[in-house]
Structure 1
Amino acid sequence: MITRRSLLGGLAVGTAASGFGLAGHALGAPAPASAARSGRAADGMPLHLVNHSGAYANSSVWIYIVGNDGTQQVHVTPDGALRPVALADNGPDGYTDYAIPLAASGTTTLRLPRMSGRIYTALGGRLKFKAVEDGNGKAALAYPAGWVPSDPNYDVLHDCAEFTYNSGGMYCNTTMVDMFSVPLAITLTGAAEQTTGTLKDGARATVFSDVKAAEGFDRLVIGDKRVIAPGHGLDTGLFDKDYFAPAIDEAWSAYAGKDLTVTTDAGTFTGRVSGGTLSFTGPRGAVGRAAAPAGPVSFDKPSTRDVLFCDGTLAAPNDGARGPVAAVLGAALNRSTLTSQARQPATDPAAFYRQRLTNHYAKAMHAATRDGRAYGFAFDDVAGFASYIEDGAPREITLTLTPF
């Protein structure tokens, strides 16, 4: 399965003002760039946009499709053309106008070219994407950062879905990794019909109230506009930078005296803590393919930030060994199962988020969705709990703004 993490790619750069960048946040493996260079519509498939929000009329909703084509930053025009981002696209106000309006009523349909990126929805106001020069001198976009009060899009109600559409098929997800604001659902039709991201009736309000009520998470709720993920809350002083420290200490202490086994597609790794480092031997018993080359796989004790961003000590390279083990450890710490279950990954959702020190933001998101799947943190795809779907023979895709 191609996942959000295995397709990481640099989508955009951030400005110093917002402190925001998308490297490592969006799907990659995009299509060739010839269509974007020519400005013509690329081969694509129908993208249906449906406004069932019940809170905003079509005339108050704008769509932005932005991303990359493998060589450059691109955006999609209302007629389905794939065009490169250019510094000259910034208007008199200093920002681009890449908005795609919805039809006056009913469903809006356009062609989605082969590319990798995000579909942003903005309600009640337009988003401000600024074309900037990246470190290599190429034009790129500074994306919205809804968790940064100084960001020009902070007061705009917005959210996004992520996708990669290439010769292999369509890979897409609804994401709450950065924040949650607008309820979105994706339906992908191809070899099968799949839907993910749909919230239960009234669940948007429940997410806000549940996160508000969770000890230490209350300041992540920004009025009725959005709930920001605890990692971003940590970076802006709204969340305790040592929140997970007692749980991490407990796990490292537990596995100083017993084995921790982690099973991945590469096989089973066996770990113990010694000198503050969790070191694994293995793999053995590879699943479905030859075992990865044996080598040291070890982890220093992670910080709360490492757990929330699935980064730092828990960064997951696409190496078949350290990466998959890091993902399992990160998921277990977010779901508060690492100490209680010595065989990972844990796969019973009834056992997730049961400890006081847990990712209550992710817990609320999973409780809100009809299929129990959400992307509450970057390793939420471990054991298949992410709001992610794919199809090797896609025919059409629908993004629905579901009821508030």
Structure 2
Amino acid sequence: MTSTEFPMFSRRRLLASMAGAAVAGSALVSAVPSAVAATDDDLAAEAARGLLLTIDNNTGEFANRSVHLYIVGSKGDRQVRVTRRGALAPVKLSDNRANGFTDYAIPLAARGRTTLRLPFMSGRIYVALGHKLKFKAVGGGDGRAALQHPAGWVESDPNYPVLHDFVEFTHNAAGMFCNTTMVDMFSVPMMIRLNGAKDHNTGRLRDGGRARVFRALRNHPEFSRLVVGDRRVIAPSHGLDTGRFPKNYFDPYIDRVWDTYRDKRLLVRTDAGTFTGRVRDHRLTFDGPASVSFAKPSTRDVLFCDGALAAPNDGLTGPVAAVLGAGFNRSTLVSHRKQPTVRAAAFYDTAVTNHYARAIHAATTNGKAYGFAFDDVADWASYIQDTAPRHMHLTLTPF
């Protein structure tokens, strides 16, 4: 893969099949309609030919009986989950128990490794340590049942006290595409491995890496409130929305970028060609394979890689927006007029930068992490894929 080529199923494309909306403080994930509806027979067939999935609990702090696994997501036009017996089942409102929540937890084996089958679906594998998560089945906008997912960055969410985290995946006829993500928060150290046409792995932390992340951010004035005890670090994007992070944090750097490119040209190389941009009439406007233009973003736009930096899947504006989003978060746009910057040594080299992403990347053994939505630019995300997968491993690594 070239430095500017985006993966077939980056986190952004994976989440295109999971439309998020805030409901009662939780993330509601709604299935996207498809041409063919998935029947119950289809779901049973998918489970039978699923990908081998092995879970290893190497936390050193939690016994297998204290680890609860959840595999939830979408299949076609339906919200689905994997049952304790490894079957694929639709989400149903009747799954809610007397307490108002489902119990979709898959227990680990009493000791040693746990092996399941992962069917064709897009979704998340959640792990909860010590206590179970509370997923609520609700009526979706399309009339079908949907799930409210945990929102660990919202204090009113019933899962806020629970130590938990997740990985994301799309498994289909084209292969397996998965990532460890810290775009929303960082909590449980995990790594993933794929055996298939090749052997791939990502997500492993350096010894003491989790503690280093917590310590680095706890000691940084603007980022310190993102640290929630020893439970998790909330991403600055969500921190901004919940009052834990300054709403104008990136504004001085954004101003510098706009000032710099009033008199200079910014070059952005994509698979569609090279775009040349300058600030004209308060907008950063590019010429090249097409004319694309961006309003001056806010700090929130930078952190969420959205708003003025939204990236449509059009092959033109989208790739330029992704490169700009990465350049802002990594603070390389002023120092490097040719983008994307591909050398990690040049990233985060200013006082105003995404120190959250910086700390997480520094903690991983291969330097790769998903610290913000466009972190896959120049192939620095903790993302792996295989078009002929045989076996997936999820390992909970030492704290």
Q: Shorter-chain TM-score category?
A: over 0.9
Asked if the contact 1:31/1:115 (under 8 Å) is kept, the reply is: no
Contact 2:14–2:169 (CA under 8 A) maintained in structure 1: no
Match status 1:176 vs 2:182: yes
Tell me the secondary structure at the aligned position of residue 13 of structure 2.
coil
Give the stretch that moved more between structures: 6-15 or 26-35: 26-35
Match of 2:138 in 1: 132
Q: Secondary structure at the match of 1:20?
A: strand
Residue ranges of structure 1 left out of the alignment (5+ in a row): 284-293
What residue identity is the alignment partner of 1:82?
A: L
Q: Distance in 2 between matches of 1:88 and 1:208?
A: 40
Within 5 A, what are the aligned runs for 1:325-336? 325-336=320-331
**Secondary structure at the counterpart of residue 325 of structure 2:** helix
Give the letter for the 1:138 counterpart: R
Counterpart of 1:183, as a letter, is P
Q: Give, in angstroms, the shift of residue 138 of structure 1.
A: 1.1
Structure 1 length-normalised TM: 0.93
Give the Cα–Cα distance (whole angstroms) in 2 for the partners of residues 237 and 36 of structure 1. Answer: 47
Q: Is the 8 A contact 1:4 1:27 kept in 2?
A: no
Taking a change above 3 Å as real, the CA distance of residues 32 and 109 of structure 1, as seen in their structure-2 partners, is: farther
Matches of 2:181 and 2:35, distance apart in 1: 19
Change in Cα spacing, 1:358 to 1:15, as seen in structure 2 (3 Å) is: closer
Three-state SS of the structure 2 residue aligned to 1:63 is strand
Q: What is the rounded CA distance, in whole Å, between the counterparts of 1:52 and 1:239 in structure 2?
A: 33
Displacement of 1:233: 0.2
> What does residue 310 of structure 1 align with?
305
Query: 1:274: which partner in 2?
Result: 280
Matched to 2:27, the amino acid is: F
State whether residues 8 and 27 of structure 1, in contact with CA within 8 Å, keep that contact through their aligned partners in structure 2.
no
Distance 2:26 2:133 in 1: 17
CA drift of 1:17 comes to 2.1
Tell me the alpha carbon deviations over residues 122-158 of structure 1, each in whole angstroms, 9 at most, x when there is no partner: 0000000000011121100000000000000000000
Report matched runs for 1:90-109 at 5 Å.
Answer: 90-109=96-115
Secondary structure of residue in 2 paired with 1:119: strand
Question: Could you tell me the TM-score, scaled by structure 2's length?
Answer: 0.94
Q: How does 1:132-151 map to 2 (within 5 A)?
A: 132-151=138-157
1:45: Cα distance to partner? 1.3
1:33 is aligned to 2:38: yes
- Cα distance in 1 for partners of 2:189, 2:282 equals 42
Deviations 1:9-44 (A, max 9, x none): 243655532153457xx9999997345765453421
List per-residue Cα deviations over 1:18-73 (Å, max 9, x = no partner). Answer: 153457xx999999734576545342111001000011000000000000002111
- 8 Å CA contact 2:37–2:78 kept in 1: the answer is no
Alpha-carbon contact 2:29-2:146 (below 8 Å) kept:
no
**Residues 267, 28 of structure 1: alpha-carbon distance in 2 compared, 3 angstrom cutoff:** farther
Query: What is the 5 A alignment of 1:190-205?
Result: 190-205=196-211
What percent of counterpart residues are identical?
Answer: 61
Q: d(CA) in 2 for partners of 1:389 and 1:360?
A: 24
Candidates 45, 55, 59, aligned match of 2:61: 55
1:265–1:298 distance in 2 versus 1, CA, 3 Å = same
| Unmatched runs of 5 consecutive residues or more in structure 2 | 1-6
> Counterpart of 2:4?
none
Name the CA distance, whole Å, in 2 between partners of 1:279 and 1:189.
44
CA 1:313–1:36: 2 relative to 1, 3 Å? farther
Instruction: Identify if the C-alpha distance between structure 1 residues 79 and 188 changes in structure 2 by more than 3 Å, giving closer, same or farther.
Output: same
Q: CA RMSD in A?
A: 1.9
Task: Write the distance in 2 (CA, Å) between the matches of 1:13 and 1:344.
Answer: 30
Residue identity opposite 1:280 in structure 2: F
Distance 1:27 1:118, change over 3 A: farther
1:11 aligned onto 2:11: no
Alpha carbons 2:23, 2:148 under 8 Å: kept: no
1:256 aligned partner, one-letter code: R
CA distance in 1, matches of 2:370, 2:224: 20
Cα pair distance change 1:156/1:363, threshold 3 Å: same
Partner-residue secondary structure (3-state), 1:256: coil
Query: What SS is found at the alignment partner of 1:383?
Result: helix
**Deviation digits for residues 54-97 of structure 1 (CA, Å, limit 9, x no counterpart):** 11000000000000002111000122211110000000000011
241, 250, 259: which one pairs with 2:256? Answer: 250
